[in-house]
A and B are shown apart, each in its own frame.
Chain A
């Protein structure tokens, strides 16, 4: 049955080789059984079969990929086909590179033109998705630049992959060594080489290696800082060793570990909140990666659970949702695909950040950060503290202190600062009132960039 064979194409080749016939046999039996129960049952069975394949094929691919990375045999137990599967898994990443290399040698112009068209198409699609999702005024687009105005993006989209491809063609010996290493280590060295080469070249081409490195690493420095949530603890378990100041704050009669005196609780929470606010402010002021900020926000909130009752669970959950919202609602298909990975591993975040540098227009808008931050600040039943909101959402004091050359090589960075700080008009009383009302009514759908006009 041909359609079933097409569905089977969704699965990795090694899987199809080993279990394809069996899968086909079962699928045919399932459909034959459904056919005896009528047309409706057959339709339902078909849909279920497709849904099942769509769900399970990525699982099978992940399994083969994992096997290729750790060098294990994906299917064992001497059922046959194992050695072949192993071979396929090991060459999972090598073969496409080899094919591309050969193609480049044989059809160089076609490959160059294809790469160029693909790069431009990708950039155009990203740009269009971003425009549509932001739904912003076209005049603002001019201010922020298009991909054609952005040589960094063009270099990364078109030139770097081409150079990589040429590298594959020009250095066959190197590639052969890579393949040997791959087989020896069970790790795809070609892919690692290409990735490393891409990242290094990115930095060099941008001519801002130090700045890039600072920008990429800074969120992680802040990450460790915010992970160490301030907690009120005496320096020793023995009250007789406490200083006079500690005796004011802690009581030995208090239940174990929770030694903070109840009357000091509110004061401590205020101190702690001020510390977190200051961290948030500095994050807002100095980082451009939406992921990094959302990650910090999330981590900060996560650790806030253990703040000796300073933040209740409902607030924390709201904050967590807000941070997830900030990531999820980031513009662009590319960003949506990669951003969640940053939650999994710092390397993924670095990759995301690298792309943010290349595509400044894809960086999440400060308004989104403000949305997340404001949502965090909005405890249940609380009204907005506008002073605090402005202090977090308007990062002028942090950015003003930075020397211009230490800023990111972002095409629209300075324009954005101007737009956010100097260009932003203060809210009118009407706008404040309307936003407050709207927030109270539909908090979950709140958008900071929504500003009501005067009646």
Chain B
């Protein structure tokens, strides 16, 4: 599987804890990124790609939803695998960087 883009990975990560609508994803991403937010334009230009790749899928709207315009999304099974694969890839990369940095010290 090719590496995920930064924004794609962030969106997938934000959905790990359960189905969410756009603004909830933005908030979760902000929390995950330590305050750095994702703007709605980037969110909604990345979402179609993830939908196309079937990494996420539409989720049913909960009964307590207050805004009818909101749509909910959740991670699909391939999406979960993609998150794990990407996390592994990044971990391996970080280890390489650490090894290199050790060589510098």
Interface residues in chain A, defined as those with a beta carbon under 8 Å from any beta carbon in chain B: 11, 15, 18-19, 21-27, 29-30, 48-49, 51-53, 55-57, 59-60, 63, 74-79
Q: Report the stretch among B42-50, B87-95, B96-104 that lies at the interface.
A: B42-50
Question: A77 contacts B58, CB within 8 Å?
Answer: yes
Chain A residues with CB under 8 A of B40? 23, 26-27, 30, 49, 52
The contact of B41 among A25, A56, A78, by CB within 8 Å, is A56
A-B contact pairs, 5 of them (CB 8 A): A22-B21, A29-B26, A56-B39, A76-B48, A79-B58
Question: A22 contacts B70, CB within 8 Å?
Answer: yes
The contact of B52 among A25, A48, A53, A77, by CB within 8 Å, is A77
Q: Given that A22-B22, A22-B70, A25-B69 are known contacts, is A77 also in contact with B43, CB under 8 Å in the complex?
A: no
The minimal Cβ–Cβ distance linking B45 to chain A, given in whole angstroms, is 5
Scoring B residues 15 to 44 as 1 if CB is less than 8 Å from chain A, else 0, what string do you get?
Answer: 000000111001000000000010111111
Q: Given that A49-B40, A52-B41, A56-B42 are known contacts, is A74 also in contact with B23, CB under 8 Å in the complex?
A: no
Scoring B residues 66 to 79 as 1 if CB is less than 8 Å from chain A, else 0, what string do you get?
Answer: 01011100000000
Q: Given that A30-B40, A48-B39, A49-B40 are known contacts, is A59 also in contact with B45, CB under 8 Å in the complex?
A: yes
* Chief secondary structure at chain B's binding surface: helix
The contact of A79 among B21, B22, B51, B67, by CB within 8 Å, is B51
The count of residues in chain B whose C-beta lies closer than 8 Å to any C-beta of chain A is 23
The contact of B39 among A18, A49, A77, by CB within 8 Å, is A49
Task: List the count of A-B residue pairs having beta carbons below 8 Å apart.
Answer: 78
Question: B26 contacts A30, CB within 8 Å?
Answer: yes
15 more A-B residue pairs beyond the given contacts A22-B71, A79-B51, with a C-beta to C-beta distance below 8 A:
A15-B44, A19-B44, A19-B48, A22-B21, A23-B40, A25-B22, A25-B23, A26-B44, A29-B23, A52-B39, A52-B41, A56-B41, A76-B52, A79-B58, A79-B71
Q: How many angstroms between the C-alpha atoms of A60 and B70 in the bound complex?
A: 20
Q: How many angstroms between the C-alpha atoms of A265 and B41 in the bound complex?
A: 56
The minimal Cβ–Cβ distance linking B23 to chain A, given in whole angstroms, is 4
Q: How many angstroms between the C-alpha atoms of A60 and B47 in the bound complex?
A: 11
Chain A residues with CB under 8 A of B39? 30, 48-49, 51-52, 56
Q: How many angstroms between the C-alpha atoms of A79 and B51 in the bound complex?
A: 8
Q: Which residue of B lies closest to A62 (CB)?
A: B45
Interface residues in chain B, defined as those with a beta carbon under 8 Å from any beta carbon in chain A: 21-23, 26, 37, 39-45, 47-48, 51-52, 54, 57-58, 67, 69-71
The contact of B48 among A21, A24, A25, A63, by CB within 8 Å, is A63
Q: Which residue of A lies closest to B44 (CB)?
A: A19
Question: B67 contacts A23, CB within 8 Å?
Answer: no
Chain B residues with CB under 8 A of A25? 21-23, 67, 69-70
Chain A residues with CB under 8 A of B43? 26
Question: B45 contacts A77, CB within 8 Å?
Answer: no
Q: Which residue of A lies closest to B23 (CB)?
A: A29
Which of B41, B67, B71 has the most chain A CB within a 10 Å cutoff? B41
Chain B residues with CB under 8 A of A78? 58
The minimal Cβ–Cβ distance linking B44 to chain A, given in whole angstroms, is 4
Q: Which residue of A lies closest to B38 (CB)?
A: A52
Q: How many angstroms between the C-alpha atoms of A55 and B40 in the bound complex?
A: 11
Chain B residues with CB under 8 A of A57? 41
Q: How many angstroms between the C-alpha atoms of A56 and B39 in the bound complex?
A: 10
Q: How many angstroms between the C-alpha atoms of A15 and B45 in the bound complex?
A: 9
Q: How many angstroms between the C-alpha atoms of A11 and B45 in the bound complex?
A: 10
Which of A15, A59, A79 has the most chain B CB within a 10 Å cutoff? A79
The minimal Cβ–Cβ distance linking A376 to chain B, given in whole angstroms, is 35
Chain B residues with CB under 8 A of A21? 69
Q: Given that A22-B22, A25-B23, A26-B22 are known contacts, is A77 also in contact with B57, CB under 8 Å in the complex?
A: yes
Q: How many angstroms between the C-alpha atoms of A76 and B47 in the bound complex?
A: 11
Question: B51 contacts A24, CB within 8 Å?
Answer: no
Q: How many angstroms between the C-alpha atoms of A399 and B71 in the bound complex?
A: 67
